[in-house]
Amino acid sequence: MNRTQKSFKNLLFGELQQLINIAVSFATRTVMVHTLGVTILGVNSVFTELIALLSLAELGVGRAITFHLYQPLAQNDIPRLKQLMKLFKTAYRMIALAIMAIGLITMPFIQLTVTDTGMDESYLRFIYLLFVFQAAVSYLFSYKAILLTADQKSYKVAWINTLCRVGYAAAAVILLLKTNNFVAYLCVQIACTLAINLLISHSATKEYPFLREHAESLEPEGRREVLSNVKFVFIGALSGKITNSTDNVLISMLDSTTTVGYYSNYQLIISAVRNLLDQIVFASKGSIGNMLTSESDDKCDEVLRRLTYLVFIPTLICSLCLYGTLSLFIGGLWYDASFVLSDLVVFVLVVNFFLVAARNPLLETVSAANLFRIDKNISILGSTINLIVSIVLGLKLGMLGVFIGTTCTHVVQIALKILLLYRRRLHRSATGYYLLFARMLGLFALGMLLIRWFGSVLVVSNVLLALLLRWLAAIVLSCALAMLGFLGTKEQRYLLWFLQRLLSRLKRGGKGGKPIAG
């Protein structure tokens, strides 16, 4: 298969996995609220983010080693692959131990991160310990998954995840309904994590038999290069964690843990939609790495612009759909009006959603371009801005201030990462890509204003009908803006040509089309 076919297969399985994850999350969350209450939901969200912060030990290892896997995979250099995977295995075992150690050290202070729960401190610590254990054991077996992803075979990982998540959902829902026991629910979660990682490990070993063979240690120079990149990526990934994995903790400390429970419903839906969009770029991750090692700078620039426009269209559709229907769905269909956040908070949440989804092609290209050393400075600046603005505005505006801090970080990092990529890797002016991104932001802003106006003039008593009309309006408006706003551009002409070519081949029963990713 060529790069496009592999990316398409990865995308298909990735989207299926995310759809299953959405169904599972909705089912378990709904049952959790009805059986355990919104406060437990808030505790679950806060501890989930704390575990994400504990996993800082891993940050940098996966991305750095993935970068070093691209070339030996392209050249079928088995000895080099064995050396890298041996280093990866050792690193992940150390990470598992580090997570357990940090978790045990921080456990006595965990009650400081949750407020107004009315729960016993020893119970909170035990729950936290289960979260820590789940995170630690996952690293003992999961390192082989990165080889499948780097080799453009992430569909195998998605398939295993999908099957296990279905089994987990059934067991979790039954346990919650029968026992109303949060500990039992967490034990099922741990079992699911172990099953997923063991099955992925088995699949990778079957796909790459050399993983069973003895491997020499990586030479000192190669090990220093990998570890150096790990250090730089760690700083960048730390920034991402501070930006994306501290909102719940800050809201819990500056407001209340129950407020986190209300926000987590919005977070669930937004994250689910974002994960669906992420699959477009994630499916092409291996192809992007392959492209940067084999294509010219002109070609890389051209493909990045095409991929950015391709991602923009579904991102705009999803953004307007979320803004127009999120509160109506939560307050009118899923729960009730007491679970609805203010319109201004929802607006900022959707802005952050758009920025994160639209920048994905840029971030993956920067990651695959071996710009770790310089990128770390952008990450440090971004995380500093996020913490300062989130805390200062959070004290004054509460939840809204925390989210505005996240927005500031995204804007600064996008602007600087564009400059970094074009100056240091593509060796050309970044003006064209800045204008491309500015056009997308302008169309997004116009769409948000129009969908808000449509929601204010549409008065329908039936919630399902109102949701349907708003979804249809958001889809039609998004498509019109995306097409008219890019009318006559190279990116749009290529996309239309590609779709026409693809449809023509499908009618003939053939395969392919010119590769999107090269």
| Residue extents of the structural domains in the chain | 9-252
Please, what are the averages of pLDDT over each run of 10 residues along the chain (518 residues)?
61 72 79 82 78 60 70 83 84 83 86 73 88 83 76 77 83 87 87 85 86 82 75 65 68 74 84 83 69 77 89 94 91 82 93 94 83 78 86 87 90 93 88 94 95 85 89 94 92 86 70 42
Distance (Å, rounded) from C-alpha 204 to C-alpha 202? 6
Concatenated DSSP letters of 210-243 = GGGS--PPPPHHHHHHHHHHHHHHHHHHHHHHHH
For the chain, percent of residues with pLDDT exceeding 70 = 86
**449, amino acid identity:** L
Distance (Å, rounded) from C-alpha 360 to C-alpha 275? 11
Find, among 246, 241, 278, the residue nearest to 364 by Cα.
278
Q: How many CA atoms lie within 13 A of 242 on its CB side?
A: 22
Verdict on whether the full-model pTM lies above 0.85: no
Tokens representing residue 311 in the block: 């991602």
Find, among 151, 160, 146, the residue nearest to 3 by Cα.
151
Tokens representing residue 24 in the block: 């599972």
The one-character DSSP state at 342 is: P
Q: Which long-range contacts (CB under 8 A, 24 or more apart) does 13-16 make?
A: 13/154, 13/155, 13/158, 13/159, 13/162, 14/154, 14/155, 14/158, 14/279, 14/282, 14/283, 15/276, 15/279, 16/158, 16/162
Whole-number pLDDT of residue 60: 54
Whole-number pLDDT of residue 321: 94
Distance (Å, rounded) from C-alpha 513 to C-alpha 485? 25
Distance (Å, rounded) from C-alpha 410 to C-alpha 349? 12
What confidence tens digit (pLDDT) does each residue in 252-282 have? Answer: 777 767 777 788 888 888 988 888 888 777 7
Whole-number pLDDT of residue 278: 82
Find, among 359, 369, 373, 477, the residue nearest to 409 by Cα.
359
Contact 270, 322 (CB under 8 A): yes
Region of 304 (left: φ > 0; alpha: ψ -120 to 50; beta: rest) is: alpha
Contact 311, 283 (CB under 8 A): no
Whole-number pLDDT of residue 512: 44
Contact 466, 456 (CB under 8 A): no
Distance (Å, rounded) from C-alpha 68 to C-alpha 226? 8
Tokens representing residue 101 in the block: 């150690």
Whole-number pLDDT of residue 299: 84
Distance (Å, rounded) from C-alpha 209 to C-alpha 237? 32
